[in-house]
Amino acid sequence: MKPLLLAIVLSSIGAFCAEPAFAQKCSSIFSSQYALDGKVEVDLPAVRSAKTATEYGNTITEINSLIAPLEIPGQVKVSVGTAFKFSHFNAGDFSIYIGVRPDSMGKMNPKVNQTTMAHEYAHAIFEHNLIKDLESYKSLRNKAVNLEAQVEAAARESKNLVYRSDVTFDKKKKQQLQWQAIEKMLESKSLKKEFKAFQRYWIIRTAFHELFADSVALTYTRDPKSIATLLKSKEEKNKEFSSNGIILRDFTDGRHHRNEQTWKKEHPFYTEFAADVYYSFLPARWELWNIVKSKIDSENYRKELPYKVFSILERNLSESLALSPETVGPTGLKDIQRMNDQIIEDFRREL
pLDDT at 65: 97
| Alpha carbon distances (Å) from 53 to 78, 120, 213 | 10, 16, 21
Reply yes or no on whether the pLDDT at 341 is more than 60.
yes
User: Across the chain, which distance is largest between two alpha carbons, in Å?
Assistant: 61
Mean pLDDT along residues 44-54: 72
Q: What is the mean pLDDT of the chain?
A: 78
Distance CA 79, CA 35 (A): 11
User: Which of 1-5, 66-70, 217-221, 333-337 shows the lowest per-residue confidence on average (mean pLDDT)?
Assistant: 1-5
Q: What is the pLDDT of residue 252?
A: 75
Higher pLDDT, 297 or 44: 297
Write the DSSP symbol of residue 236: T
Average pLDDT for 135-159: 78
Task: State the Cα–Cα distance between residues 272 and 186, nearest whole angstrom.
Answer: 23
The CA angle 312-212-203, to the nearest 5 degrees, is 95
What pLDDT sits at residue 296?
A: 95
On the question of pLDDT at 105 being above 60, the answer is no
Q: Which residues contact 341 (CB under 8 A, 6 or more apart)?
A: none
Between 184 and 168, where is the model more confident?
184
| pLDDT > 70 fraction of the chain, expressed in percent and rounded | 65
Judged against a pLDDT cut of 50, whether residue 106 lies above it is answered with no
Mean local confidence (pLDDT), 325-349:
92
**In this model, does residue 333 exceed pLDDT 80?**
yes
17-26, 96-105, 269-278, 289-298 — which one is most confidently predicted on average?
Answer: 289-298
Torsion of CA 121, 124, 238, 282, to 10 degrees: -100
Distances (CA, A) of 57 to 11, 61, 62, 114, 257: 27, 6, 9, 10, 39
The whole-number average pLDDT for the span 19-40 is 63
Are 251 and 225 within 8 A, CB to CB?
A: yes
Q: What is the mean pLDDT of residues 167-191?
A: 63
Name the CA dihedral angle for 236, 25, 216, 104, rounded to a multiple of 10 degrees. Answer: -20
Instruction: Provide mean pLDDT across the span 75-88.
Output: 82
Residue 183 has pLDDT above 50, yes or no: yes
3-state secondary structure of 250: coil
Confidence of residue 28 (pLDDT cuts 50, 70, 90): very low
Of 85-89, 152-156, 286-290, minimum mean pLDDT range:
152-156
- pLDDT of residue 4 exceeding 80, the answer is no
